[in-house]
């Protein structure tokens, strides 16, 4: 037996979709305006997960020019059929709904096949037993929206070889509750004699929920479960540690057990900085309706996974991974967990025997260009990020350092410029200089330490850790204040206020991300 610890993917991993191929599980998440797009995770037991690549890792696959960080890629679905993997997704900034395919989930994935006539968002594919394929998605009420989020779920046959919709479109379902807002994220399954639509409703916030409808015919009519919504935390109040539960996708293990992945958040004092994360629940069927986490009715911290006939030799679950140290002189490229904004930094990054050269670009973090920012997801409420960089060549106008980034209008930077260290908070698009002091060491080690919604900033020298800021309130870097659909990322950056003929490169030795246990005061 293996034990899955929730969340199974901590940090900014929203809108999970999962499929199984024999005893292998593959999972993808939304990535919005980050590049590369749509991380691909692999597991043998639903407890141990490893990122094996990204679906969209070429600029030709992922146009994101000038997209805000919460635009771009919404709600992917991953499916497998007859030797081929399919990911269907929406690029809300360019092109709309598309499909990509791959023989290997690690890639390479094809160029996008944009689907003519597939309006709306949150598409999914279902491969039926008779060889037919169906597209299910959402779009605004065709009779006119009576209120914000007045959407319908529609089904249409899909030619998966020609990547086009065929036949009639059926408005199959518009949510379980009367006047419901945002029926979205639908998935279609056939289990036994029934076709099931499992979908989210209520919006991806405090009212989020998972509902189900079923029919003996793929096009309906569909009847809703009398227990709808079949899973939610919205009735538990704001003090409950896990909230916003929704956007579920079913998967069956080879031993016949059913599970559901879904998103949820873990706020700190009412503020969510890590964004929506991926959680796991058990599912059984009673009276041919799904029951999620039977006998409990809420997400659990731990979930026993019965391996039965599939028994991979795996170590004890190691989540959380407490430390990640990247010595750049030992690297030739960034791993799949690293991201940039909107496009790759092809000509802005160089690895050599001394570390990483990162171009001081003219695009900054407050705009919608391609800043020289390389990051990973924040995956803990309590962590420390460190960067060691040389400061000798940082001339007037250039800045380099660490950034905790929620969006263009909400982030905090610890930057070095002209032998000075500066802590800058960007709140509602306005920059505020929080602290500034001399910082002449080269190389210099700078540190951000986050405890929930509190940030402390230090430099490290031969006298130890020198504080720049203690306990800065960063609750503004939360979904509740900043809005959007993303969680925070943390990484290194370099910018230049001047457009020079000869670009300046900041040199970084290392980057470290380390979780720590909070100190509980009596």
Q: Which residues are catalytic?
A: 15, 184
SS3 356: strand
The continuous run of DSSP H or E covering 454 comes out as: strand 454-461
CB atoms within 10 A of CB 144: 7
Q: Which of 115, 83, 98, 103 is nearest to 38 (CA)?
A: 98
- The answer to whether the beta carbons of residues 273 and 406 sit under 8 Å apart is yes
Cα(373)–Cα(508) distance, rounded to whole angstroms? 12
Beta strand extents in 148-208 (DSSP E only) = 151-159, 164-173, 184-191, 194-201
Tokens of 432: 């505020």
Residue 170's contacts (CB-CB under 8 Å, 6 or more residues apart) are 154, 155, 156, 219, 220
Cα(85)–Cα(98) distance, rounded to whole angstroms? 14
Residue 191's contacts (CB-CB under 8 Å, 6 or more residues apart) are 285
Residues in the chain, total: 522
Strand 113-114 versus strand 84-91 pairing type: unpaired
- The answer to whether the beta carbons of residues 19 and 282 sit under 8 Å apart is no
Cα(494)–Cα(372) distance, rounded to whole angstroms? 6
- φ and ψ of 479, to 5 deg: -60, -35
Cα(283)–Cα(373) distance, rounded to whole angstroms? 41
- The answer to whether the beta carbons of residues 132 and 80 sit under 8 Å apart is no
Residue 243 pairs in a beta bridge with 265
If you write DSSP's letter for every residue of 110-129 in order, what string do you get?
PPPEE-TT--SEEEEEEE-T
């Amino acid at each position: 037996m293996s034990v899955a610890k929730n969340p199974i993917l901590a940090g900014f991993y929203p809108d999970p979709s999962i499929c199984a191929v024999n005893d292998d599980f593959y999972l993808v998440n939304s990535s919005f305006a980050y590049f590369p797009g749509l991380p691909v995770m692999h597991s043998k037991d639903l407890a141990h997960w490893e990122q094996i690549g990204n679906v969209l890792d070429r600029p030709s696959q992922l146009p994101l020019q000038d997209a805000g960080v919460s635009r771009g890629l919404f709600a992917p679905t991953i499916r497998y059929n007859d030797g081929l993997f399919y990911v269907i997704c929406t690029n809300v900034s360019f092109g709309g709904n598309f499909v990509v395919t791959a023989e290997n989930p690690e890639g390479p994935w094809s160029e996008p096949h944009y689907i003519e006539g597939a309006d709306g968002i949150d598409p999914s594919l279902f491969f039926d037993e008779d060889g037919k394929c169906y597209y299910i998605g959402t779009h605004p009420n065709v009779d006119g929206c009576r209120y914000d989020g007045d959407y319908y779920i529609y089904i249409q046959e899909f030619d998966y070889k020609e990547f086009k919709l065929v036949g009639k479109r059926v408005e199959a379902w518009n949510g379980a509750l009367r006047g419901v807002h945002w029926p979205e994220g639908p998935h279609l399954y056939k289990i036994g004699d029934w076709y099931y639509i499992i979908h989210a409703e209520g919006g991806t916030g405090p009212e989020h929920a998972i509902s189900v409808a079923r029919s003996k015919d793929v096009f309906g009519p569909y009847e809703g479960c009398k227990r709808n919504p079949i899973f939610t935390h919205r009735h538990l109040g704001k003090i409950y540690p896990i909230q916003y539960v929704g956007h579920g996708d079913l998967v069956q293990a080879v031993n016949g057990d059913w599970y559901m992945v879904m998103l949820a958040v873990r706020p700190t004092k009412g503020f969510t900085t890590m964004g929506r994360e991926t959680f796991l629940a058990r599912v059984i069927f009673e009276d041919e309706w799904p029951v999620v986490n039977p006998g409990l009715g809420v997400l659990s911290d731990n979930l026993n996974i019965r391996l039965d006939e599939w028994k991979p030799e795996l170590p004890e679950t190691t989540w959380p991974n407490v430390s990640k140290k990247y010595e750049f002189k030992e690297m030739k490229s960034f791993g799949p967990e690293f991201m940039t904004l909107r496009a790759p930094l092809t000509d802005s990054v160089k690895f050599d025997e001394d570390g990483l050269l990162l171009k001081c670009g003219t695009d900054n973090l407050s705009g919608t260009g391609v800043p020289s920012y390389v990051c990973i997801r924040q995956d803990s409420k309590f962590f420390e990020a460190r960067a060691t960089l040389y400061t000798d060549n940082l001339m007037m106008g250039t800045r380099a350092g660490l950034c905790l980034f929620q969006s263009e209008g909400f982030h905090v930077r610890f930057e070095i410029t002209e032998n000075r260290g500066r802590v800058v908070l960007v709140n509602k698009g306005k920059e505020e200089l929080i602290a500034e002091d001399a910082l002449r060491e080269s190389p210099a080690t700078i540190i951000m330490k986050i405890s929930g919604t509190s940030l402390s900033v230090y430099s490290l020298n031969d006298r130890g850790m020198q504080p720049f800021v203690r306990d800065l309130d960063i609750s503004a870097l939360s979904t509740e204040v900043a809005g959007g659909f993303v969680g925070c990322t943390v990484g290194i950056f370099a910018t230049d206020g001047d457009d020079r003929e000869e670009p300046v490169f900041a040199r970084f030795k290392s980057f470290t991300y380390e979780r720590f246990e909070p100190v509980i005061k009596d």
